[in-house]
Structures are given as structure tokens and as C-alpha cells.
Amino acid sequence: MTKNDHFQEIYQQKAAQYHQMIEVEDVDSHLLAALQRITDFRGKFVLDLGSGTGRIPLLLQSLDVRMACLDLQRAMLLEQKNQRAKVGGNWGMVQGDMRVLPLADNCADVVIAGWAIGHLCSWFEDSWQDEIARILCEMHRTARCGGVLVILETMTTGSLFPAPPTPELARYYAFLEGEWGFEREVIQTDYQFCDVQDAVARTEFFFGSDLSEKIRQHGWARLPEWTGVWSKRLTN
């Protein structure tokens, strides 16, 4: 059975504040480079699951791509609509559940799920494998033959070295690689804030006071972060 948690409350009630945090993430632009190493996006149709306030479509919008973005939380999509307007974007958005996609078979060239699936490890403590498998099956179903699946997840924030931040996520990452055949690359996606005070102000609501104290101790205006990029190309 699912349960509410800290992050669900943020996604339901603090979408604008969340976007103010992530808009200064990946200061060295490693994420787009990593995605382009996986596939050429030109002319592709991209399905972005758990799209949130638009991190992936904002990253890809300057490329020659068509996109459809899905998220469970209406508040996140409303903020994404604001961000889309700022850049003059025209991609589609729909509210829905990643486990039951309202989309046809074989409709997308690239299916991405960014920083979204891992939450099910805590929302469904006793059945996370089954629930995540439902999403992975939907990703496979909606991708065309020769298409690409991409999953992005945290490899920790506030550390100089990458590692799964919890044992639950470590098991999930092993599940992606061992049971579902995904390959992993780890990239650095540091946040760059104006100063230490700005770093604390923008992150504490999400990451909590322990990270805030670490930011102060290290004097981090540039907050280290690592992201795992899992990918799989479909051949049949």
C-alpha cells in the first residue's frame, strides 16, 4: 500500500520552490551531454515520465524533438506550464500515472523517467519491485523497436563521491541492472548557488537540515551532486 511522504507533499504544494532549486542544478551541463551519448535526439519523439516542473523538456527544447510529458501531480505540471511559456515551448503535457500510461504501443523513440521511479521504493516498501516493474513494462510497451529507455536517479547530493544514498535505492539500482538489463553511467550534476546562504535557503525544504549543516561546514556555494543515468536500447 502506498503512503504519503515528505516528497509527495513538496510535489503537491511547493512546485515553484522546487523549480527554483533545480534550475541551478547541473552547472557544467553534463546531463545533456550524457543523454546525447545515448542517442541522437534529432527528429525523435520523446516521452518524459515523472516530468515534474520540466527539467527534461527544458533541457531538450532547443533540439529538433517532439515531446509529451506526464506527471502524477497537477501542481508540478502547472509550474511546468509556466516554465514552458518562458521559453516559448510547445510540448504536450498530461496528468497521469507512470504505471498505467494513457498512450499507444510503440509510440515513442525515447522514453525517459527522471528522478521519479525511485520514490516507489519508499511509497511501496513491501511491493516496490512489482510496482516498479509495472512502470518498466509500460516504458517498454510505449517505446518503438530500436528505441531507447533512459532512467535518471540520484547518486547522492552533498558528497564528493557518488553512491546510492540509501540501501533501498541501492537495491533498486541493482534491480535495473541485474533484472532488466540497463547499463549505468554516473555523472556530476552540481548545483551552483549565489553563496552559502542561498544554497541553504533553496535546498533545506527538500533535503533537510542535515545537508544544510554540511553546506555551512564546507562553505559550499557549489553543492556537489551525482546522478546515475541508466539506459537500454530495444532491439525487438
For residue 219, tell me if it sits in a domain.
yes
Domain harbouring 96, CATH code: 3.40.50.150
For residue 220, tell me if it sits in a domain.
yes
Whole-model pTM over 0.75: yes
Strands 143-157 and 108-114: parallel
pLDDT of residue 82: 98
CB-count burial class (<10 Å; 0-12, 13-18, 19+) for 222? middle
For residue 1, tell me if it sits in a domain.
no
CA distance 20 to 18: 5
For residue 120, tell me if it sits in a domain.
yes
- The domain containing residue 154 runs over which residues? 6-233
Question: Nine-digit cell at 126?
Answer: 513491501
For residue 56, tell me if it sits in a domain.
yes
Per-residue pLDDT tens digits for 182-219: 999 999 999 999 999 999 999 999 999 999 999 999 99
Residue 2 pLDDT grade (very low, low, confident, very high; cuts 50, 70, 90): very low
Mean pLDDT, range 143-163, rounded to an integer: 97
Closest residue by Cα to residue 53 from 115, 102, 136, 124: 115
pLDDT of residue 5: 80
**Total domain count for the chain?**
1
Per-residue pLDDT tens digits for 97-120: 999 999 999 999 999 999 999 999
CA distance 222 to 94: 34
Mean pLDDT, range 13-30, rounded to an integer: 98
For residue 72, tell me if it sits in a domain.
yes
For residue 179, tell me if it sits in a domain.
yes
- How far is CA 162 from each of CA 78, 108, 170, 188, 227, rounded to the nearest angstrom? 32, 31, 12, 8, 8
